[in-house]
């Protein structure tokens, strides 16, 4: 028998849903904000239904997008942006506390503006007479992205022409995936379909690239992703600039979500470096194609390691004349061991979402005094940082970057040190 309950949202859960307690048990309510007072229908299970919002939280705002609640891209548009940033700062603080760090410095933070995201992964689906192109709803089908307040307007303007060209491709027999990166040279497309491209598909994609000034369009098989990609149309050079250095990323290459966050992350890493001369070795792990490598090379000699061959090859070919040495190495299967860090002045790492895994144990065993860790996952940060806490490191600085607006994702740059001299200047 269902019953009606009045209760207040206490906090956010990990997925951005509001946490309430019913009979002392947690339940999660989407699109609610801590401080909301709700009337709920409760049927004895963990599922609850909102009957009424009795009293809104001071941090509640109206969603900016008409697709909110349907599109799976944004989970937290009902939360005021300052409150959202505060919550993400709390996630990073909690992760470091749980890792064993009780004394923490004052946190720096920044939040990107709306309509600034330059990297997006979309899905598309052929339906009678049209193509649906957008993001998946929670546990559901693709929702057509007719509106978006997150992505750069340049990318949003491409979606209608993309629907048209995808609808004319023989390879699009059902669904597929589309990744777009907005590099310095312009949009870069990687299309994945179940069926192979037919000759007329290549002609259509080349014409599309010319018309919309897209330097490169690539394709891969969605059924056989390990076979790599094929460049099917290229109208001009593809590059991304880090200052005066231009690198050519591979199709589907990793790019920080926004230009503003790329700058903020690099600035935070550089600010966290110890005093260096230009010959001091900086060991950079999970280097990608150079987002941090190029800025770091202005401060010291960078030894960059990356497991993705095409990314490290792009960095190597574009960094000629810089103080950068590149090594292709899968750090998950073949981590650098402690003695390989013997000459390092500082270690900088930007691991994938799962964290540094076995590599972190070897870092913690090394004699390197200063570690700078770029995190995209508080849970992985907690696990990796716990090894550093046990090894005697302390947290010197923390910068939190909210580059995935209205989502639960958060980026952070944390510097760890054993230097008593540096810790004496820490601001708490």
pLDDT in tens, 235-294: 999 999 988 899 999 999 889 999 999 999 999 999 999 999 989 999 999 999 999 999
The enclosing domain of 224 has a CATH number of: 2.40.50.1070
With a cut of 80, say whether residue 140 has pLDDT above it: no
Does 61 map to a domain?
A: no
Residues 370 and 259 in one domain: yes
Residues 361 and 261 in one domain: yes
pLDDT in tens, 37-93: 999 998 877 678 899 999 999 999 999 999 998 998 899 999 999 999 999 999 999
Residues 142 and 267 in one domain: no
DSSP-assigned letters across all residues of 163-227: HHHHHT-TT-SSEEEEEEEEETTEEEEEEEESSPPPHHHHHHHHHHHHHTT-SEEEEEESS-GGG
pLDDT in tens, 320-334: 888 999 999 999 999
Q: Is 376 a catalytic residue?
A: yes
Q: Domain boundary residue among 191, 220, 241?
A: 241
Please give the tally of structural domains in the chain: 3
The enclosing domain of 403 has a CATH number of: 3.40.50.150
pLDDT in tens, 8-46: 999 998 888 999 998 888 999 999 999 999 999 988 776
Rounded to 5 degrees, what are φ and ψ at 86? -60, -40
Is residue 366 within 8 A of residue 240, CB to CB? The reply is: no
Q: Which structural domain, as residue segments, surrounds residue 86?
A: 81-114+253-423
- Give the active site residue among 65, 74, 148, 376: 376
Residues 270 and 232 in one domain: no
Residues 294 and 401 in one domain: yes
Annotated binding site for S-adenosyl-L-methionine: 256, 286, 306, 350
pLDDT in tens, 323-380: 999 999 999 999 999 999 999 999 999 999 999 999 999 999 999 999 999 999 999 9
Annotated binding site: 256, 286, 306, 350
The enclosing domain of 7 has a CATH number of: 2.40.50.140
Residues 39 and 123 in one domain: no
Rounded alpha-carbon distances, angstroms, from residue 272 to 85, 113, 205, 369, 414? 22, 24, 45, 13, 8
Burial readout 154-165 (b: 16 or more C-beta within 10 A, e: otherwise): ebbebbeebbeb
What's the whole-model pTM score?
Answer: 0.94
Residues 407 and 303 in one domain: yes
In which region does residue 188 sit, left (phi positive, over 0), alpha (psi from -120 to 50) or beta (all else)?
beta
């Amino acid at each position: 028998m269902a019953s009606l309950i009045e209760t207040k949202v206490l906090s956010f859960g990990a997925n951005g849903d509001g946490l309430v307690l019913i009979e002392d048990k947690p339940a999660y309510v989407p699109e609610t904000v801590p401080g909301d007072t709700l009337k709920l229908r409760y049927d004895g299970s963990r599922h609850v239904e909102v009957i009424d919002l009795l009293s809104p939280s001071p941090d509640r705002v109206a969603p900016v997008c008409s697709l909110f609640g349907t599109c799976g891209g944004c989970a937290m548009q009902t939360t005021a942006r300052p409150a959202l940033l505060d919550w993400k700062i709390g996630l990073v603080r909690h992760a470091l506390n749980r890792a064993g760090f009780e004394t923490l410095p004052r946190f720096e933070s920044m939040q990107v503006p709306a309509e600034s995201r330059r990297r997006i992964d979309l899905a598309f689906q052929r339906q009678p007479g049209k193509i649906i192109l957008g993001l998946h709803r929670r546990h559901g089908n693709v929702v057509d992205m007719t509106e978006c307040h997150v992505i750069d307007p340049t990318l949003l303007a491409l979606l209608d022409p993309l629907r048209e060209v995808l609808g004319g491709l023989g390879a699009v027999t059902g669904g597929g995936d589309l990744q777009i990166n907005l590099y310095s040279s312009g949009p870069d497309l990687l299309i994945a379909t179940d069926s192979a491209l037919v000759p007329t598909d290549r002609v259509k994609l080349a014409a599309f690239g010319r018309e919309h000034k897209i330097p490169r369009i690539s394709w891969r098989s969605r059924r056989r992703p390990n076979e790599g990609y094929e460049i099917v149309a290229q109208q001009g050079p593809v590059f991304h600039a880090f200052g005066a250095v231009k690198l050519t990323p591979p199709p589907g290459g990793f790019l920080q979500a926004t230009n503003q966050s790329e700058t903020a992350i690099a600035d935070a890493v550089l600010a966290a470096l110890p005093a260096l001369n230009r010959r001091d070795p900086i060991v950079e792990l999970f280097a990608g194609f150079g987002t941090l490598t190029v800025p770091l090379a202005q401060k010291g000699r960078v030894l960059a390691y990356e497991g993705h061959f095409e990314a490290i090859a792009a960095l190597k070919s574009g960094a000629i004349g810089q103080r950068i040495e590149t090594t292709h190495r899968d750090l998950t299967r073949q981590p650098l061991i402690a003695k390989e860090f013997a000459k390092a002045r500082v270690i900088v790492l930007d691991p994938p979402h799962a964290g540094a895994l076995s590599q972190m144990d070897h870092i913690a065993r090394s004699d390197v005094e200063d570690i700078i860790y770029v995190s995209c996952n508080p849970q992985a940060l907690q696990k990796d940082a716990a090894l550093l806490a046990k090894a005697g490191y302390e947290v010197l600085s923390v910068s939190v970057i909210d580059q995935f607006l209205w989502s639960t994702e958060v980026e952070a740059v944390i510097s760890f040190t054993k230097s008593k001299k540096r810790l004496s200047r820490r601001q708490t």
